[in-house]
Structure 1
Amino acid sequence: MRTHWTPLAVVYLIVSIAGLVGTWTYNAIAIAERRDFLGDLLSSGPAVSSITTDLLVVAVAGSILIVVESRRLGMRFAWLYLVGSAVTAFAFTFPLWLAMRERRLAALRAAGDAAGAPPT
Structure 2
Amino acid sequence: MSALRRHWTPTAAAFLVLALAGLVGTWTFNVFAIVQMRDFLGDLVSSGPAVSSITVDLLVVAVAGSIFVIVEGRRLGMRFVWLYVVLSGVTAFAFTFPLFLAMRQRRITALAAEGPARLS
TM over 0.5: yes
Find the counterpart in structure 2 of residue 22 from structure 1: 25
Report deviation, 1:74: 0.3
Report deviation, 1:3: 1.6
Find the counterpart in structure 2 of residue 43 from structure 1: 46
Over 4 Å off, 4+ runs: none
So what's the TM-score if we normalise by structure 2? Answer: 0.92
Find the counterpart in structure 1 of residue 67 from structure 2: 64
Report deviation, 1:90: 0.3
Mark the runs of 5 or more structure 2 residues left unpaired by the alignment: none
Is 1:84 the equivalent of 2:87?
A: yes
Identity of aligned residues (%): 71
So what's the TM-score if we normalise by structure 1? Answer: 0.92
Find the counterpart in structure 2 of residue 95 from structure 1: 98
Aligned-pair Cα RMSD in Å: 1.2
Looking at structure 1, the residues matched to 44 and 67 of structure 2 have their Cα atoms a distance apart, in angstroms, of 24
> Among residues 75, 79, 86, which one is paired with 2:78 in the alignment?
75
The DSSP-based 3-state class of the residue aligned with 2:63 is helix
Number of residue-to-residue matches in the alignment: 114
The DSSP-based 3-state class of the residue aligned with 1:94 is helix
Spell out, residue by residue over 1:66-114, the C-alpha distance to the aligned partner (whole angstroms, 9 max, x if none). Answer: 000011000010110011001000000000000000000000011117x
